[in-house]
């Protein structure tokens, strides 16, 4: 498959500070790509370089083989982390304005606005001024504004921030629908469960440097299946002394063990079961959240 967006050895420096260092990744048409990292890791800077809002210090960014600064801006959609909509403008008027600003006819814009207003449960708010909306509803309006013109490529910077669980699900379903319709999406999020659920590929940044770029499964395979969940009568202190066990965490009526290597699981099973029935023994990959914390060496909150 041909590549849509390619970053090659991209570096961004501000005097003595390097925000992004020798960054390389590529995105294929129709996929969802996650850019993750702590605050200050270089995610927003990378987005701004892709959007040609900032120049690269070194390296190139190309869109279908063409340098990004020569690409028609209407092919792109962007939701910045810093939200900004017109407080005095009504919801529907706002969406029509942004759509027509991107070259849509008023009729096409109205059709898209009607669809997304219903999908995001904003029917009763369409004639309300933005300043009267809750923070979550304001965010939904700006989300719609970022892709109402149906861009080929959509960048979402922390789109789930401030949304409650119901609205997070609305957004996830919208992202999946846009993907089904052929849109390519790049987004960042501090919430690893969203990245794990949605992304085909991802890039993990730490202080502007890529620690990993590729598929989520390939990242998990680097660690192997080292997360063991068991339900047993053995106490935590005895489990912790078993060979190959790095840590033991008690969760309600079960234990979660982190192993040094997955091959230790067989011997642990023999000890825990002791030739008898065992209610639960599940070996799996680490979650993306657990891998993230291990890679960056700190919490991402």
Shared domain check, 155 and 261:
no
The helix or strand, by DSSP H or E, that contains position 153, with its residue range, turns out to be: strand 153-157
Shared domain check, 202 and 87:
yes
Shared domain check, 134 and 261:
no
Q: Does 289 map to a domain? A: no
Q: Does 290 map to a domain? A: no
Shared domain check, 183 and 110:
yes
Shared domain check, 95 and 181:
yes
Q: Does 65 map to a domain? A: yes
Domain CATH code at residue 25: 3.40.50.300
Cα–Cα distance, 56 to 62 (Å, whole number): 12
- SS3 per residue for 118-142: HHCCCHHHCCCEHHHCCHHHHHHHH
Shared domain check, 68 and 47:
yes
Number of compact structural domains in the chain:
2
Q: Which residues of the chain have pLDDT under 70?
A: 1, 298-301
Q: In the prediction, which pLDDT does 82 show?
A: 80
Cα–Cα distance, 40 to 56 (Å, whole number): 17
Domain with 178, as residue range(s), is 5-220
Closest of 149, 146, 148, 176 to residue 158, by C-alpha: 146
Shared domain check, 152 and 32:
yes
Shared domain check, 216 and 236:
no
Query: Residue 263: how many CA atoms within 13 Å on its side-chain side?
Result: 0
What is 71-87 written as a DSSP string? S-GGGEEEE-SS----T
pTM, full prediction:
0.88
- Select from 220, 235, 268 the last residue of a domain: 220
Q: Does 115 map to a domain? A: yes
Shared domain check, 242 and 182:
no
């Amino acid at each position: 498959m041909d590549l849509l967006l390619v970053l090659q050895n991209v570096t961004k420096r501000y005097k003595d500070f390097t925000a992004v260092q020798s960054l390389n990744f590529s995105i294929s048409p129709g996929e969802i790509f996650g850019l993750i990292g702590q605050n200050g890791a270089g995610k927003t800077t990378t987005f701004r370089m892709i959007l040609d809002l900032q120049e690269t210090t070194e390296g190139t960014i190309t869109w279908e083989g063409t340098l990004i600064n020569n690409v028609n801006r209407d092919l792109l959609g962007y939701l910045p982390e810093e939200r900004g909509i017109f407080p005095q403008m009504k919801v529907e008027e706002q969406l029509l304005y942004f759509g027509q600003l991107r070259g849509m006819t008023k009729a096409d814009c109205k059709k898209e606005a009607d669809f997304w207003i219903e999908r995001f449960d904003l029917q009763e708010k369409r004639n309300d001024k933005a300043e009267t909306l809750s923070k979550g509803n304001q965010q939904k309006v700006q989300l719609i504004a970022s892709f109402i013109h149906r861009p080929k490529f959509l960048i979402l910077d922390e789109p789930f921030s401030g949304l409650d669980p119901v609205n997070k699900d609305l957004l996830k379903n919208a992202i999946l629908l846009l993907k089904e319709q052929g849109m390519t999406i790049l987004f960042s999020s501090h919430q690893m469960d969203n990245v794990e659920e949605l992304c085909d590929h991802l890039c993990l940044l730490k202080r502007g440097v890529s620690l990993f770029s590729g598929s989520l499964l390939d990242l998990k395979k680097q660690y192997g299946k080292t997360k063991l969940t068991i339900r047993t009568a053995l106490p935590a202190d005895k489990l912790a002394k078993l060979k190959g066990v790095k840590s033991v965490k008690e969760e309600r009526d079960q234990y979660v063990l982190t192993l040094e290597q997955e091959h230790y699981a067989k011997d642990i099973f023999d000890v825990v079961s002791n030739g008898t029935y065992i209610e639960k023994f599940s070996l799996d990959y680490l979650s993306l959240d657990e891998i993230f914390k291990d890679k960056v060496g700190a919490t991402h909150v």
